[in-house]
Amino acid sequence: MEPTAVTIEDETILVPRLKVQQIIDLGVLRHERERKALLEDLEDAEATTEERLEKLREHRDQKGLSSILVRSAFSVDGAYQIVRLAMGGEYPERLEGLDPTKLSRLALACIGIDLDEMVASGEAEGKEKADHETGLASRPSSSAIVQG
């Protein structure tokens, strides 16, 4: 598990991949936060008991799914949490200026996903549609993307 190199203004920072237990812990934390937000939304909407139980069951069925964590890497907050955990609980000040797209790619690398490799191999959803509609070719590997 090689770290991802991030170069900002001629300074390189190595961001490690998360260990399996860290990924599990992060998934549990996200699930708990989302459950709390769901309960607040259901309360605000004055949902019936039956509606609440149905939504809570649906939410519980998603617990532990890696797709939830992957999807969270595409939000600034989620990506920030992933990178911060990878860096030992501290988000490096030098990464504060990283744009959201690069932050998401870095977060995905921290959980072992190379988005550019997935796009190039056709594993990423919508690749064929995007290439066909835009005429854009796949980007270089994410090892080169995180340069700001």
Distance from C-alpha of 7 to C-alpha of 29, rounded to nearest angstrom: 30
Mean pLDDT of the chain: 82
CB burial of 16-50 (b: ≥16 within 10 Å; e: otherwise) equals ebbeeebbeebbeebbeeeeeeeeeebeeeeeeee
Q: What average pLDDT does the segment 51-71 reach? A: 89
pLDDT at 144: 43
pLDDT one-digit tens code per residue, 25-51: 998 888 899 899 999 999 999 999 999
pLDDT one-digit tens code per residue, 126-147: 544 444 443 434 333 444 445 4
pLDDT at 82: 95
pLDDT at 73: 94
Report helix, strand and coil shares of the chain as percent, to nearest 5.
Answer: 55, 5, 35
Q: What average pLDDT does the segment 90-101 reach? A: 89
Q: What percent of the chain has pLDDT over 70?
A: 82
pLDDT at 6: 86
pLDDT at 125: 65
pLDDT one-digit tens code per residue, 66-82: 888 899 999 999 999 99
The distance from CA 22 to its chain's CA centroid, rounded to whole angstroms, is 14
